Amino acid sequence: MKPPLRKFLLTAHITFSVGWLGAVAAFLILAIAGLSSQNDKTMRAAYVAMDLIGWFVIVPCSLITLVIGIVQSLGTKWGLLRHYWVLIKFLLTVGATVLLLLHMNATSRLASAAADISSNLELLPFASSSFLMPLPPYWYC
């Protein structure tokens, strides 16, 4: 891989990894607001916003980070299996992305219930899991 392309991919990889982390921070703030709010409208809006941030920011950032990481590892001297730490990064990213996709289904159900004005919002079991799943493996970016 030529240096300009390698540098561009590295910059994109870091940008999307940091974007993933920032979007998760926003997601967690909304989850806290939804769980702690006494205002019904605030709670409903937080859960709908969590669904939008999840599907339109967090999921794309995680997938783009994964794809760029694979391209970088296969196109440079580091390789995907040559160094243990590259493989660990890859497995952590795949695991976090799979958990994120599984969690987003629950988040979508939560947002659908929140958007339904007639529902009583028995959402605590769903909402409490919002703190756990969308976290990226940012510690190795």
pLDDT the model gives residue 114: 82
pLDDT band at 119 (very low <50, low <70, confident <90, very high): low
Percent of the chain surpassing pLDDT 90:
40
The pLDDT assigned to 140 comes to 43
* pLDDT tens digits, one per residue of 13-24: 999 999 999 999
C-alpha 49/C-alpha 53 separation (Å) is 6
Of residues 120 and 58, more confidence is placed in 58
pLDDT of residue 4: 94
pTM equals 0.80
Domain boundaries, the chain: 3-136
Q: What is the pLDDT of residue 120?
A: 57
Query: Which tens digit of pLDDT belongs to each residue from 99-114?
Result: 899 889 888 988 888 8
